[in-house]
Amino acid sequence: MRLFFNLLKSDFSKNVLTLMTGTTISQAIPIAITPILTRLYSPDDFGILALFMSITAVLGVVANGKFEQAIMLPNTEKEALSIVYLSVIISSIFSILLLVIVLIFKSKIASLLGNSKIENWLLFIPISVLFIGLFNSLKIYNIRIKNFKLVSVSMVTKSSGLVVTQLGIGFVKSGALGLIIGQLVSYIAGNLQLLKTIVKNNLFKNTFDKNNIKLVTKKYNRFPKYTLPGSLLNSLTINSISFLIVAIYTTSILGFFSLAKRLLSLPSMVIGGSISQVYFQKLSETKNKEGNTLKVFTKFLTRLLLVSLPIYTVAYFIVVPTFKFFFGEEWIIAGEYAKIIVPLACAGFVSSTLSSTLHVFQKQQITLFIQATQFITILIVFWVSNLYQFNFIKTLSVYSIIFTFEYMIFALVYWQIVKKNN
């Protein structure tokens, strides 16, 4: 971690550090109580949570029509705020439609997912999706105006609401109730923090204009046309593994895998996520000023490699005994899963952090192609695994190798785009 801070001696280091501090704390809080949660909740409970979160993650991508990705681009604040309004309107309408669908078809949906236990939690999905959409819009707008401290505080608030709820319910009631309610409470807490400060500072005062909303809808319609399908495919690629594991294997295996994936993704979420947001802002700003975008890309890529390679090399050798020690003997299986996907996590750390390059240069068609490729790949991997009756260890190994290679190719594509448009 000290190496990373030393590397960030530049004009954007303060912003990265601010975001990363909040992200680190927000991730450290739930990780710190995970050894307690693994003793309060079973692998099957974690599996149900993973299935629930996969559903909300996929639907959350659709919530704003991906217009929130355009908030960073306008030259005027009035236009940016119009995009925020548009995003909130779309997410509200979408959540209402989801509620109607769930009320009518919840039994059939649970049957389709292959898990009857999830039926009890489907009613929480529409409200979760609404708060996800709102949080994403408010977060990106605050990053646009460089209010990094507020974003950092909101993430800590969000995480605190999560752990208090999961621990509180877990001590008095068994089952996945506490895990799922905790997720809902976390988004409510995060949104209240962001919204409270924005309202207090009157940032939205006298800025709502229907005509402006119509104008930005037309001006940035490439985002729902191209970014939305690509992002949806990306979310399906990431989260479809939960659906496929439940369909082919068991909910308990999904529970083990979800914990392994969650902990191994920590560097990407804490460090990569913070860098990605600052990279998006810096690259957009440099492009608008007709500066050297290739220099910005190269600088971020170099630092990402210098940070990720040592972290994941060490993780490969210590992850199995670490899981056994902290989470208990029962969870050593999760450690074995984590070791298999270390190369994938490392490649994803670098590639995903730089993926906003496509948004800055509005290469939504390429985003769509990349995500379609990944989605088809994961379907093929699990289809072959099911056909030849691979055990989950073998399936996970094939999955890790193929996606590691694909992430490396995607990083090269981003570099070519920046180089061409520099």
How far out from the chain centre does Cα 392 lie? 24
Span 402-417, pLDDT tens digits: 999 999 999 999 999 9
User: What is the tens place of the pLDDT at every residue in 102-136?
Assistant: 999 988 888 888 777 788 889 999 999 999 999 99
pLDDT of residue 74: 85
Sole residue written with tokens 């068991």: 250
Q: What is the rounded CA–CA span in Å between residue 268 and residue 174?
A: 31
> Which tens digits make up the pLDDT trace of 167-224?
999 998 878 889 999 999 999 999 988 887 667 767 666 677 788 888 888 888 888 8
DSSP H or E segment with residue 69: none
What residue type is assigned to position 79 of the chain? Answer: E
Residue 55 exposed, middle or buried by CB count within 10 Å (0-12, 13-18, 19+): buried
Would the pTM count as exceeding 0.75?
yes
pLDDT in tens, 75-93: 888 888 889 889 999 999 9
Query: Which residue ranges make up each domain of the chain?
Result: 2-421
Q: What is the DSSP letter of 66?
A: T
DSSP letters along 246-287, please? HHHS-HHHHHHHHHHHHHHTHHIIIIIHHHHHHHHHHHHHHH
Among 116-120, 230-234, 294-298, 335-339, which stretch is predicted with the lowest mean pLDDT? 230-234
